[in-house]
Amino acid sequence: QKEVEQDPGPLSVPEGAIVSLNCTYSNSAFQYFMWYRQYSRKGPELLMYTYSSGNKEDGRFTAQVDKSSKYISLFIRDSQPSDSATYLCAWLEAAGNKLTFGGGTRVLVKP
Amino acid sequence: GAGVSQSPSNKVTEKGKDVELRCDPISGHTALYWYRQSLGQGLEFLIYFQGNSAPDKSGLPSDRFSAERTGGSVSTLTIQRTQQEDSAVYLCASSLAPYQPQHFGDGTRLSIL
């Protein structure tokens, strides 16, 4: 079993729709949870960072963490064509500093 | 700029040559990381520097890979006797302190002919 499972997509949605992205993980040592956005030929850009179960909201973005189910989600409201990118979930263990990444989900928001 | 800066942005070299990749972290960030991103393997950790502590080299794939960080700031990743499987995007990240969010540069796209 992989440490992290993330659907590669592509996920295609119409402009204005809600984008829903998910990742599951198996390593109980994961304590910090992140979502990154990566445009083509650019580095990953941090969107959300959290370490507790529950919801965290930032503008159009909501991150949801369920540690008991080892499941994290990212929701993008009122999606725009500029949201078209690859979204990467990532984890940090409490005892280490290296990020473990999911494979990324490619999202296409069509005008 | 205020972000992580990497150079060169692209590098093409022949198999067997040595390459050096440079990373300039965000000013004031004490932690620096190198990752590699390739199609088949996704994003993989290579090495981590924190202050004056010994680096965590646990992700380096072979002894052809080495890195150093001078003066707690700029870092150089060196790949000796490059192989075709070394072709990838090499990403550098920095964070204000351990366990803080990591911010990435745009990477060096390395192609081995």
pLDDT tens by residue, A30-89: 788 999 999 999 999 999 998 888 999 999 999 999 988 889 999 999 999 999 999 999
Q: Residue B43 in contact with residue A101, Cβ under 8 Å?
A: yes
pLDDT at A97: 80
Which pLDDT does position A96 carry in this prediction? 67
Show me where the domains of chain A are located: 4-110
- Indicate the fold that domain A4-110 takes in CATH: Immunoglobulin-like (2.60.40)
Question: Which of A:43-72 have CB within 8 Å of B?
Answer: 43-46, 49
When comparing pLDDT for B100 and B34, which is higher? B34
Q: Which of B4, B48, B103 sits opposite A97 (nearest CB)?
A: B48
Could you give the 3-state DSSP secondary structure of residue B85? helix
With respect to residue B54, please indicate whether it lies within any of the assigned structural domains. Answer: yes
A15 falls in which pLDDT band (50, 70, 90)? very high
Its domain, for residue B58, covers: 5-100+104-108
CB < 8 Å to B31, chain A: 97
Top pLDDT among B109 and B52 is at B109
Cβ separation of A98 and B43 shorter than 8 Å?
A: no
Q: Say if the Cβ atoms of A44 and B43 lie within 8 Å.
A: yes
Q: pLDDT exceeding 90 applies to what percent of chain B?
A: 84
The arithmetic mean of pLDDT across residues B35-46, rounded, is: 90
Cβ contacts from A onto B, under 8 A:
49
Pairing outcome for strands B5-7 and B88-95: unpaired
Q: Are B80 and B20 in contact (CB under 8 A)?
A: no
Q: How far apart are the first and last CA of chain A?
A: 38
pLDDT tens column, B75-95: 999 999 999 999 999 999 999
Instruction: Confirm if A24 and A3 have CB atoms less than 8 A apart.
Output: no
In a domain, B113, yes or no: no
CB contact under 8 A, A99 and B50: no
The C-alpha atoms of residue B59 and residue B62 are separated, in whole angstroms, by 9
pLDDT at A1: 64
Amino acid (one-letter) located at B33 = Y
Query: Could you tell me if residue A51 is left (phi over 0), alpha (psi between -120 and 50 degrees) or otherwise beta?
Result: alpha
Percent of chain B with pLDDT over 70: 99
Beta carbons of A97 and B99 less than 8 Å apart: yes
Residue predicted with more confidence, B16 or A31: B16
Handedness of CA B2, B4, B10, B14 (dihedral sign): positive
Inter-residue contact B94 to A44 (CB < 8 Å): no
Nearest CA in chain A to B31: A97
CATH number of the domain bearing residue B34: 2.60.40.10
Given pLDDT bands bounded at 50, 70 and 90, which one contains residue B1? low
Q: How many CA atoms lie within 13 A of B43 on its CB side?
A: 26
Taking an 8 Å cut-off on Cβ atoms, the answer to whether A101 and B42 are in contact is yes
CA distance B102 to A77: 25
Residues 6+ apart with CB under 8 A from B38: B44, B87, B88, B89
Pairwise CB contact (< 8 Å): B59 & A102? no
d(CA B68, CA B64): 14
